[in-house]
């Protein structure tokens, strides 16, 4: 059975974890299954041994660990050791107080592998080049914000943007379809106003019009257009299928917003 001194030694020098320590850690976890420090040491032990159970243990330990960034640096201390400041002697001494011994051991163990001051948000100048210093959700948030800021701050608008916007406004106000006086020949030709409208609709059933509808948040007409285009151009069905799924999701979200 692992003694207190052995546990503290492994916490200070996790590279010493071997086959014997793995067996002792299993015994500890059977008796205290929620002992976070033992979970972390076991994971590091399996990593040192390149044990086949390492992946399963990583999934389990990720649930127990309160800070996955610290877990990352514990496992990859040899690869990213230059990021870690272990000079705890430079830290100002704190007032002596009664602290739970288990919590004190855990804090000491985890503090060995991180210094939060080195990983401030201001240092993330390029999120795609600094994945080691942030978790996955923070990375996605940073990249997403960067993407939208780039769009908002664009100083060079698209060519003919004014013309496109004007066209969209006309579509919204139904001013784009000019009305022509019907003469006698047109009346006798048998073409009704509804047939003319259907011809115009067929002419404008294009992907461009679908995009205009999307910009106007008219998702259902846009979906109808894309579905019709998918039938007319079966070779591009996979291409249109992605757009159909996207529009169906937008329609579903809009209905949920109205219901709530």
Residue boundaries of the structural domains of the chain: 4-86+99-114, 158-192, 205-260
Q: Which of 51, 30, 38 is nearest to 6 (CA)?
A: 38
Question: For the CA atoms of 203, 205, 210, 213, what is the dihedral angle to 10 degrees?
Answer: 70
CB 109 within 8 A of CB 14: no
Q: Do 221 and 213 form a contact (C-beta atoms < 8 A)?
A: yes
Spell out the per-residue pLDDT of the chain, length 260, in tens.
788 888 888 888 888 999 999 999 999 999 988 888 888 899 999 999 999 999 999 988 888 788 888 888 888 876 665 555 544 444 455 544 444 555 555 555 455 444 444 444 444 444 444 444 444 445 555 555 555 454 454 445 555 556 656 655 554 454 444 444 455 444 444 445 555 455 444 444 577 888 888 888 888 888 888 888 888 888 888 888 888 888 888 888 888 877 76
100: DSSP letter: -
Helices 19-31 and 36-49 meet at what angle, rounded to 10? 150
């Amino acid at each position: 059975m692992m003694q207190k001194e052995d546990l503290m030694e492994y916490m200070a020098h996790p590279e010493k974890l071997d086959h014997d320590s793995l067996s002792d850690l299993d015994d500890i976890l059977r008796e205290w299954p929620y002992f976070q420090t033992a979970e972390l040491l076991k994971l590091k032990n399996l990593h040192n041994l390149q044990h086949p159970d390492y992946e399963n243990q990583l999934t389990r330990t990720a649930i127990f660990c309160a800070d996955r960034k610290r877990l990352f640096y514990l496992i990859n201390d040899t690869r990213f050791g230059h990021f870690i400041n272990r000079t705890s002697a430079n830290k100002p001494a704190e007032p002596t107080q009664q602290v739970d011994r288990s919590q004190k051991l855990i804090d000491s163990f985890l503090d060995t592998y991180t210094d939060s001051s080195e990983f401030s948000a201001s240092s993330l100048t390029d999120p795609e080049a600094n994945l080691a210093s942030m978790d996955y959700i923070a990375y996605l948030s940073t990249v997403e914000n960067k993407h939208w800021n780039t769009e908002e701050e664009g100083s060079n608008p698209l060519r003919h943007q004014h013309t496109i916007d004007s066209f969209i406004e006309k579509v919204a106000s139904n001013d784009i379809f000019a009305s022509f006086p019907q003469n006698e020949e047109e009346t006798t030709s048998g073409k009704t106003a509804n047939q003319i409208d259907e011809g115009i609709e067929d002419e404008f059933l294009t992907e461009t019009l679908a995009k205009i509808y999307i910009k106007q948040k008219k998702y259902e007409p846009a979906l109808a257009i894309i579905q019709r285009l998918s039938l007319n151009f079966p070779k591009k069905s996979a291409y249109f299928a992605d757009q159909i799924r996207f529009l169906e999701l937008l329609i579903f979200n809009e209905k949920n917003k109205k219901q709530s």
